[in-house]
Amino acid sequence: MFDVNKIKEDFPIFENYKKKWGRYLSYLDSAASSQTPRQVVLAMDDYYFNYRSNVHRSPYKLGIEATEAYESARATVAKFIGAKKGEIIFTSGATMGANMLVAMLEDYLKIKQGAEILASVAEHHSNLVPFQELALRTNAAFRVIPLSGTDIDYEKAEKLIGPKTKIVTISLASNVLGTIYEVKRVIKFAKKVGAITIVDASKAAGHISINVRDLGCDFLFFSGHKMLGPTGIGVLYGREELLTRLYPGFFGGGIVSSVTVEKTSYLDIPMRFEPGTPNVAGAIGLARAMEYIESLDIGAVTKHSQELVRYAIEKLSRIPGLKIVSEKDEKRNIGIVSFTIDGIHSHDVAEILDRGGVSIRGGHHCAMPLMKYLGVSDVCRTSFYVYNDKEDIDRLAEGIEKAKSVFGL
């Protein structure tokens, strides 16, 4: 049984919030950043308090222990997504991962006028803007895959992907609609024409099981802070055969094998893609977050979130003037329910809910093209995770009714 009350004991913020503000916290904004269990914080504290040092070239005991912990974290991440250890690059987050790919693929693919880069209209800005800028800089065409309802329009995607397509980038799950896309179908279309495939797994990692071999993608990236890990750490996965052919997109110390005033030679993968001092504590914390999720069973985590989606849709659908815009089939939803309320801006809804200890997010959620597609400027977004239960959704519904009364609705 998924024991939410027991799980909450691992997250001190809930008790601390109650002591500070005198009310219960219903945190429904994990799609922006999740909370972090004490096990993750303690693992990072252990590094800072007991073997804090730089990694890889330190010959003393602290440096050796730090290096072992850092590389062990890499192995944990690789196992978590079904990759090889050498295919895992630590980044500062998903946004960094996308920008690294742009920097590396521009030269590798010789992108120029006549080439095409594709992304879906529902992409988070971090998986859209970098590739849009790449197209603008190289005079390539940036094309957008439309939706059909809350899902990708797969027929149109297949038609759009053609011999000129160089890159196809798509999210595994929408950060607004919650839809779990059939990315394997899109990847299959792209493979037929030899295009590079990139998957943004930021909303999916830690919420559903991910296996990069099964997906068949060339690259995949995500952040740690949306899956119980710390901020400032992320992962970029790349197929070994591709990574070995790529030139670093960023430069500095830590990635070189030889430097002269004439030229520089670089280390093997993945080291050649991690210049400077890495976020050692962040990597350790991320690995511990993955171990924590695995201890709960990722399948149970997915099922729990989907049960909350079903309950939330049932509960919120009864509220007059509230329109749900996210995926309504809980089996195809990552754990997000987004909605609008007639006559109230999402920011006002979020502010009024906060007075009762309910934390949600309002706005465009870094998805302005999607907002235009939906015909709105903003939506209220609730997102669920391991520490949420039906009582949180009951408080959400009560808070929405209060917001409506404030506005005389």
List residues with catalytic annotation.
366
Q: Rounded distance, CA 10 to CA 23, Å?
A: 19
Residue 327 gets which letter from DSSP? -
| Other beta carbons less than 10 A from residue 3's beta carbon | 9
Distant-in-sequence, close-in-space partners of 188: CB < 8 Å, separation ≥ 6: 216
Question: Which two tokens mark 253?
Answer: 């110390």
Q: Rounded distance, CA 284 to CA 85, Å?
A: 15
Which residue do the tokens 């509230």 mark?
322
Helix (H), strand (E) at residue 27: strand 26-27
Residue type, 221: F
Helix (H), strand (E) at residue 148: strand 147-148
Q: Rounded distance, CA 273 to CA 238, Å?
A: 11
Phi, psi of 137 (to 5 degrees): -70, -30
Question: Which two tokens mark 133?
Answer: 């800028």
Helical residues (DSSP H) of 317-367, grouped into ranges:
346-354
Q: Rounded distance, CA 117 to CA 35, Å?
A: 35
Q: Rounded distance, CA 334 to CA 178, Å?
A: 5
